[in-house]
Structure 1
Amino acid sequence: MTQPPHDEPTASSPEELREQVEQTRAELGETVEALAAKTDVKAHAREKAIEVKEQAAAKAGELKSKASGIAHQIQDKLPDPVKDKAVQAREQAGAKAAQASRLWEEKAPEPVRHTTAQGAQLIRGNRNLLLAVAGVAAAVWLACRRRDG
């Protein structure tokens, strides 16, 4: 054991000594917990992963909003015949996709369907962005085609 610091009085009774021991134990326990928390690499990695994931989600939302705004601006500037063609193309693509989906359900093996379903769920989560991008791409393609023809 070590000597008590010179600036602290020593215990005058066994009860005071017990209180000092309990206080020292509590302080030591807190110190050990703080040191253990600082050295817990897994916990720090989890916290950092959560932080990065939240930042990525926020950035994705920001980019999605910007892309949607740009798509609407471009779509508003297109002539009506081009807009109509884009709507028709989107409807035809939806019909073809439904037909392909039915065929896929009939022919594809279960593990492949499961993996594909997970991808489709991810796409559905970003449906508006993908539709906006597809609409803009179709409109630009039609405008370029019209200009060349």
Structure 2
Amino acid sequence: MTERHHDQQELREQIEHTREDLGRTVQALAAKADVKARAQEKATEVTRQAAAKAGELRTMAADVAHQVQDKLPEPVKETAVRAARQTRGNRTVVLAAAAGTTVVVLLVVRRRRRRS
């Protein structure tokens, strides 16, 4: 009887092990079938990668801008600084000019489309 009891115990252990394996397999298949969750994970990863790349590009652009500034002649630098100050002081004028230009461009495009 001891041998029979041992065989039954071994069989129970095998059944339990098989159930655990089956449970893990079902969970893995359910995760693969969950398209929404997988898409969300992929979107999160792509967003993270894009943010990292944007940071790299920002740093590169700043480096290039500094290199260009270093190579500019002083009169050009002074003119650029003066123009920037004037623009900051007259934001309303600059915005109004940009809005006016946009309206003119839209009207021209609209008129050309009517003629076509």
Distance 1:98 1:16, change over 3 A: farther
Distance 1:11 1:36, change over 3 A: farther
- Is the counterpart of residue 67 in structure 1 residue 61 in structure 2? yes
- Is the counterpart of residue 57 in structure 1 residue 67 in structure 2? no
Report 1:36-47 matches (<5 A).
36-47=30-41
**C-alpha root-mean-square deviation of aligned residues, in Å?**
2.8
State the SS of the aligned residue for 1:92.
Answer: helix
1:59: how far off?
1.9
**Residue deviations 1:83-134, cap 9 Å, x none?**
1121122122222238989xxxxxxxxxxxxxxxxxxxxxxxxxxxxxxxxx
Q: Distance in 1 between matches of 2:74 and 2:11?
A: 90
Instruction: Count matched residues.
Output: 92
**Residue deviations 1:1-36, cap 9 Å, x none?**
xxxxxxxxx974554444333222222111100111
Q: Distance in 1 between matches of 2:92 and 2:11?
A: 81
Larger Rg: 2
The TM-score, its normalising length taken from structure 2, stands at 0.62
Equivalent pair of 2:69/2:77 in contact (CA under 8 Å): yes
Residue of structure 1 equivalent to 2:106: none
Indicate which of 84, 98, 103 corresponds to 1:90.
84
- Is the counterpart of residue 76 in structure 1 residue 73 in structure 2? no
Bigger relative contact order (CA 8 A; separation at least 6): 1
Equivalent pair of 2:87/2:94 in contact (CA under 8 Å): no
The TM-score, its normalising length taken from structure 1, stands at 0.50
Amino acid at match of 1:65: T
Q: Percent identity?
A: 57
Distance 1:98 1:17, change over 3 A: farther
Unaligned runs of 5+ in 1: 1-9, 102-149
